[in-house]
Structure 1
Amino acid sequence: MPPETIYEELGVPHVVNATGTKTRIGGSRIRPEAVDAMARASEAFVRLSDLQARASELIADVTGADAGYVASGAASALALGAAACIAGDDLGAMARLPDTEGVADEIVMARTHRTGYDHALRAAGATVVDVGTNDKHLGTGSRNVEPWEIEDAIGEDTAAVAYVEKSYTEPPLDVVCDIAHDNGVPVIVDAAAELPPTSNLSAFVDAGADLVAFSGGKAVRGPQTTGILAGREELVESVAAQHLDMHAAEQVWEPARELVDPEELGGVPRQGIGRPMKVGKEELVGLIRALELFVEEDHDALTEEWRERAERISADLDSVAGFDTSLTADDKTAVAPEVIVSVDPDVAGVSAADVVGGLRREEPRVFVGADALPAGEFTVNPMCLTDAEADYAVERIAAQVE
C-alpha cells in the first residue's frame, strides 16, 4: 500500500477499490500511456473537430460503424444520441432542444430496460414510452417483453427505440432492430459497461444498432470523463453539430468535413444541447490512445489474472468465521469474476451492511460491492486491485469481524 497518495496531500482519504469500475470512486486506473498522451496534448493546441474526426476514424475502424464520436461519458453519449435522433439535421430543432414541440420525441423502451441512466435520454427532451411487464418473475413462463409490444408502441411521434445491453435483457437486439427499422426509426444501445470482450465493440453494430454508447473510463481505461458513441454517419453528424463549439462567423466556419458538412446543414448551428458536455483536447487524445491499446490487449490473459486474484481472495475470506464465499457464474453481468461473500450475522457478529459501512469509514477507505446487501451479501471485484491492495482489502474485511 502506498504510504500516501496525492489525495492525502489534499486532506482527502484515498480509496482501495475492491468494487470495480464505479464512477463514484473514479472509474478505473487510466493507462499510463494515456496519461502521457494527455500531458503531451496539454502542451499545444488543436482544432477539436479535427481531433474528433481522428477519433471518429478510429472508432469506426474498431466497431465497424460508419462513424464515431467522443463524448463526456457514456451518459453524455446517450443524451447526444437521443438529441441526434430527435433533431436530425434540423437546425431549428437543434436550437430548441430540450423543447421538442412540433418534432417526434418519443423513445420506446422495454420497461425492464429502464434504469436511472435513461435520464440522459430525457435530458435531451425525449419522452420515454414504456412497454412490457415484469411477468417473467411470476414464474408463469411468460416473457417480460414481447416483440409485438415494441412494434405496437412505435408511431408518428417515435424518434427512436432504446435498448440496454445486458445478459438478461430481451427481446434479442437484432429482433428489436428489425422491428425498429421496419418502422423507420433508429435504435440506441446503452452498452456502457459491456467491454471486454473486444468483440462487443462490433457486436451491437452488427446486430443492427444505429448508435451504441460505451464508457471510455471503465475497461478501456481512458479518461473517466469520456464516452464512445459509434453509429450511423448522419446521426454522428447531428451529434457533432450539437456538441462542437459553434461560435463562429459563417464565412470562416469550416469544421472537419469528415464530421460535419456545412453545405448540408445550411448554416452554422447555435450552441447545442451538448455544449455543457464538452470534451477537452487532453481527454480526446487520452481516449484515442487508450482505445488503441485496449483493442491490442490480451483479454484472455487479463481475465485469467482477475480469476486467479479472485480465487485467492475467496479462499482467504472463506476462512473468516461467518463468511461463506463463491465466485460469480459465467452469466454474470460484471466483466470480471467477482467474489460473493455471504455473511451469517449470528456467527460473524456483524451484518454484511456493517462490514461494508465499516470499510467505507476507514482511512484509506475500502470499497466493496454493496448491490446485494438485502440478501446479506457483498462482493469483491479484482479488476481494479493490485495484488498488494487485494491483500490489504482482505485484511481489512476480516478485521470488521474481529
Structure 2
Amino acid sequence: MSNETIYEELGVPHVVNAAGTKTRIGGSRIRPEAMDAMARASEAFVRLSDLQAEASELIAEVTGADAGYVTSGASSALALGAAACIAGDDIGAMARLPETEGVPDEIVMPRTHRTGYDHALRAVGARIVDVGTNDRHLGTGSRNVEPWEIADAIGENTAAVAYVEKSYTEPPLDVVCDIAHDEGVPVIVDAAAELPPMSNLSAFIDAGADLVAFSGGKAIRGPQTTGILAGGADLIESVAAQHLDMHAAEAVWEPAPKLVHPGRLGGVPRQGIGRSMKVGKEEIVGLIRALQLFVEEDHDAVIEEWLERARRIAAELDDVDGLEPSLTADDKTAVAPEVVVSVDPEVAGVTATDIVGGLRREEPRVFVGGDALPAGEFTVNPMCLTDDEADYAVERIVAHVEE
C-alpha cells in the first residue's frame, strides 16, 4: 500500500480507517462531486443568507421539516437548536446568551441519554435537568425512564426536551414528543450518526421532533465540518438570526426572506452565540451537493458492499489462533455491520489493547474500534475502507498476533 498521501508530504502519517466515521481521524471520505462543488464555490461570492435559504429548501424537502440549516457539525446544530429554543425571536435574549436570566433555560433530558456531547446544549446557557434512573442497566427489572418522569420535570423554566436517538433509547420518541407538546415545549433530537437508513432523514420529524441534528460528514459524505439542523420554521429562523453575520446597517438589512423576516425580529440582531460556529460558502455548497447525492444513492447496494467486506475480513481473521471474529449485524437496517474481534490473550499472546495500541503507532497508522477494550474486544468497521485498505488492515492485525 502506498504511503504517498498529502499527509506524508507534510510529515504526518496518514490513517487507514477501519474504525468508521470518527471525527478524530477525519470522518468519512468526502464525495468527489462535493469537492468539485466546493472548488467552484471558492471562485465567487454569495450572500450567505441566500445560500442558507436554498439549503433550507433542500433540507426541508428530504426531511419533511418546515425548514433546515447547514451548521458547522452536528454539535453546532445542537447548540444552535438549544439557543433557538431559549431565545426564540427575542433579539435581546439572543444578545445576552449564554446569560439566560429572565428566560426559560432548562432542557429536560432522560438520564440515560446524557453524554459528553450534551456540552453543546450547555454551552449556550442551557441547564440540563436529567430524569430517570439506570435501573435497567442495574438489573432491577424496571425501565430507566418512565414517560411520567419527563412530564413531571417540565415546568415554567423548561425551554426544550432533548432526546438522543438510538435503536435502544426509551421512551419512544413519539411518546416523548406528545408529552412535550402537551406542555408547549419543543423536542431536540441528536441523530448525528443515524444515517443510513435514508428513511431516518424524515423518521424523527414524522415522530414529532421539532429540531433534528444530523452530521454532514459521516454517511452523507459532505464536508467533515458540516451538520444539518431540520425543524420548524420559527426555530430555524432563530437559528439563522443567531448564526448569520448581522453586522449591517438596519436601513439596508434585507436577509433572505425565506429564512429571516426582519420585521418580526424588530431590529438587527447582534453577533450571536453562533458567530464562532460559522460555515463557509464552500462548506454549504459541498453539503448541498453531498446531500443530493446521498438521497439519490442506492443504499441497499452500499450496505451490501459493506457487508461483503465485513464478511471477508471476519473470514480472514477467523483463521488466526486467539482471535474470534463475529458480525454485529447481517441485515440492511444497521448503519454498517462491524466485525467484532474477541482476543484470547492466552492463545494470541497479546491483548486487544496491545493490538489496538500497536496498530495506532505504525506508519501508516491503522485505526480499529477500541470502545470495548475492557471486554477484550476491538472492532473493524468497513465503511471507510477500500478493499486494498481492508486487506492491509487484516495483514497488520495478523502481524501483531504473530510477532
If the TM-score is normalised by the length of the shorter chain, which range does it land in?
over 0.9
CA contact (8 A) 1:167 1:331 kept: no
CA contact (8 A) 2:132 2:149 kept: yes
Residue 67 of structure 2 is matched in structure 1 by 67
After superposition, give the CA deviation of every residue in 1:228-266 in whole Å (9 maximum; x if it has no partner).
Answer: 000000000000000000110001111000000000101
CA contact (8 A) 2:300 2:332 kept: no
1:41 aligns with 2:41: yes
After superposition, give the CA deviation of every residue in 1:17-59 in whole Å (9 maximum; x if it has no partner).
Answer: 0000000000000000000000000000000000000000000
Residues of 1 paired with 2:328 and 2:82: CA distance?
34
Residue 102 of structure 1 is matched in structure 2 by 102
CA contact (8 A) 2:303 2:332 kept: no
Residues of 2 paired with 1:2 and 1:277: CA distance?
36
Residue 335 of structure 1 is matched in structure 2 by 335
Residues of 2 paired with 1:3 and 1:111: CA distance?
45
Residues of 1 paired with 2:329 and 2:368: CA distance?
18
Residues of 1 paired with 2:385 and 2:331: CA distance?
22
Which amino acid in 2 is paired with 1:80? L
Residue correspondence of structure 1 range 143-154 to structure 2 within 5 A: 143-154=143-154
Residues 100 and 273 (structure 1 numbering): CA distance in 2 closer, same or farther, change over 3 Å?
A: same
Q: Secondary structure at the match of 2:220?
A: coil
Residue 116 of structure 1 is matched in structure 2 by 116
Residues of 2 paired with 1:233 and 1:282: CA distance?
24
Instruction: Give unpaired runs (5+ residues) of structure 2.
Output: none
Residue correspondence of structure 1 range 299-314 to structure 2 within 5 A: 299-314=299-314
Q: Secondary structure at the match of 2:108?
A: strand
**What is the CA distance between 1:318 and its match in structure 2?**
1.0
Residue 261 of structure 2 is matched in structure 1 by 261
Residue 171 of structure 2 is matched in structure 1 by 171
Higher deviation after alignment, 277-286 or 130-139: 130-139
> What is the percentage of aligned positions where both structures have the same residue?
86
After superposition, give the CA deviation of every residue in 1:97-129 in whole Å (9 maximum; x if it has no partner).
Answer: 000011000000000000000000000100000
Q: Secondary structure at the match of 1:94?
A: helix
Residue 322 of structure 1 is matched in structure 2 by 322
Residue 242 of structure 1 is matched in structure 2 by 242
**What is the CA distance between 1:320 and its match in structure 2?**
1.1
Higher deviation after alignment, 137-146 or 92-101: 137-146
CA contact (8 A) 2:197 2:333 kept: no
Q: Secondary structure at the match of 1:192?
A: coil
Residues of 1 paired with 2:105 and 2:374: CA distance?
38
Residues of 1 paired with 2:201 and 2:332: CA distance?
19
Residue 9 of structure 2 is matched in structure 1 by 9
State the TM-score, normalizing by the size of structure 1: 0.99
Residue 273 of structure 2 is matched in structure 1 by 273
Residues of 2 paired with 1:215 and 1:37: CA distance?
19
Residues of 2 paired with 1:36 and 1:188: CA distance?
33
Which amino acid in 1 is paired with 2:395? E
1:55 aligns with 2:43: no
Residue correspondence of structure 1 range 13-32 to structure 2 within 5 A: 13-32=13-32
CA contact (8 A) 1:34 1:287 kept: yes
Residues of 1 paired with 2:292 and 2:194: CA distance?
17
Residues of 2 paired with 1:86 and 1:97: CA distance?
9
CA contact (8 A) 2:3 2:364 kept: no
**What is the CA distance between 1:333 and its match in structure 2?**
9.8
**What is the CA distance between 1:330 and its match in structure 2?**
6.0
After superposition, give the CA deviation of every residue in 1:130-174 in whole Å (9 maximum; x if it has no partner).
Answer: 100000123332100000000000000000000000011000000
After superposition, give the CA deviation of every residue in 1:48-72 in whole Å (9 maximum; x if it has no partner).
Answer: 0000000000000000000000000
CA contact (8 A) 1:27 1:217 kept: yes
Q: Secondary structure at the match of 2:80?
A: helix
Residues of 2 paired with 1:247 and 1:313: CA distance?
54
Residue 76 of structure 1 is matched in structure 2 by 76
**What is the CA distance between 1:334 and its match in structure 2?**
6.1
